[in-house]
């Protein structure tokens, strides 16, 4: 019996050390991060700069780029990048290639993303769906394809920031479909890159309070959509629906994660571990509720998701 216990302890020790082994010489490694204007990307850029990485931070606006530059070391480079603009992405990739030289790109963190319009399906247009899909999916794919030769040269890491919304469709709109597709792209990319020694990881944050998930901004968008609806749709949902939806959103927002470092820690492990995980769940709600829920029967998923939605007084097609 003692021998079996000892063998189990040795195995646990080996597995723990295996997990904790890290790369060395990070000061010579370049990391490119998208979506550094605010939220996870901004914090990641500042954190990895302090740790010694050569960070290249892509911001959507010049003002955000300037503000970030004022808070970091001279090692960090910024670039203005719209991930939905193919020519902008191509020019940026060439600039990065000239910058990193023969070292290649150790890390690519695809973080840029937007929520888009979160509203019932029959409130939305194709353009409402297209907006987040262009940024969260096609922007991510385009950046990856253009940076991939540099990552392969360094035998580095690609980290795609998805969401628990890529496991369970929580909100109606383009956000969920975009994140579901990111999960599929991530899995295909991971398998394709194994032969080249490139590790690909996916981070699935739960509900976090960031600039893009600001409850007031989400509410403003919903109010704008409500105003453009036909009288028939408004009648079907009832005049009090939009106000109750706003109240529910504020209530749910109050329980969102505020510690953004939970996501940054996942990024760091994926960047520095000799054996990075294929998927990282960030936030207690992701680990305890959303990820387990994604494995549950559809009936249970529907019950729990609908339980937290706004009910209609008298749903009836007109």
As annotated, the active-site residues are 175
Three-class SS state of 209: coil
Three-class SS state of 30: strand
The candidate with the shortest Cα–Cα distance to 311, out of 253, 252, 255, 248, is 248
By the 8 A CB rule, do 285 and 305 touch?
no
Angle between helix 126-133 and helix 175-193 axes, rounded to 10 deg? 30
For residue 130, what are its two tokens? Answer: 């297209």
User: From CA 288, how far away is CA 304, in angstroms rounded?
Assistant: 14
User: From CA 192, how far away is CA 196, in angstroms rounded?
Assistant: 8
Angle between helix 215-228 and helix 241-253 axes, rounded to 10 deg? 160
* 6 Cβ contact partners less than 8 Å away, ≥ 6 residues apart: none
User: From CA 309, how far away is CA 36, in angstroms rounded?
Assistant: 32
In order of 118, 193, 232, 261, 263, the CA distances from 37 in angstroms are: 22, 29, 40, 16, 16
End-to-end CA distance of the chain: 73
Three-class SS state of 122: helix
């Amino acid at each position: 019996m003692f021998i079996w216990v000892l063998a189990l302890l040795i195995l646990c020790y080996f597995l723990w050390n295996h997990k904790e082994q890290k790369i060395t010489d990070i000061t010579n490694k370049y990391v490119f991060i998208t979506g550094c204007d605010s939220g996870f990307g901004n914090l990641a850029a500042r954190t990895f700069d302090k740790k010694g990485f050569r960070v290249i931070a892509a911001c959507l606006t010049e003002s955000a780029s300037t503000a970030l530059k004022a808070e970091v070391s001279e090692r960090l480079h910024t670039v203005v990048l719209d991930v939905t603009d193919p020519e902008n992405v191509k020019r940026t990739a060439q600039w990065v290639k000239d910058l990193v030289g023969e070292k290649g790109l150790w890390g690519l963190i695809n973080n840029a993303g937007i929520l888009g319009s979160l509203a019932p399906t029959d409130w939305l247009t194709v353009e409402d769906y297209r907006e987040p899909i262009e940024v969260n999916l096609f922007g991510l794919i385009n950046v990856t394809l253009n940076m991939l030769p540099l990552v392969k040269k360094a035998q580095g890491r690609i980290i795609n920031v998805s969401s628990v919304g890529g496991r369970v469709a929580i909100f109606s709109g383009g956000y969920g479909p975009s994140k579901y597709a990111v999960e599929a792209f991530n899995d295909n990319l991971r398998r394709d890159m194994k032969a080249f020694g490139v590790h690909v990881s996916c981070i699935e944050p739960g509900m976090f309070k960031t600039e893009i998930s600001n409850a007031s901004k989400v509410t403003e968008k919903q109010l704008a959509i409500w105003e453009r609806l036909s009288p028939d749709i408004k009648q079907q949902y009832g005049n009090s629906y939009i106000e109750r939806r706003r109240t529910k959103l504020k209530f749910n927002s109050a329980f969102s994660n505020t510690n953004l470092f939970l996501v940054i820690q996942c990024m760091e492990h994926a960047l520095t571990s000799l054996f990075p995980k294929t998927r990282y769940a960030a936030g207690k709600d992701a680990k305890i509720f959303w990820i387990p829920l994604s494995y549950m029967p559809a009936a249970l998923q529907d019950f729990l998701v609908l339980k937290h939605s706004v009910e209609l007084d008298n749903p009836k097609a007109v």
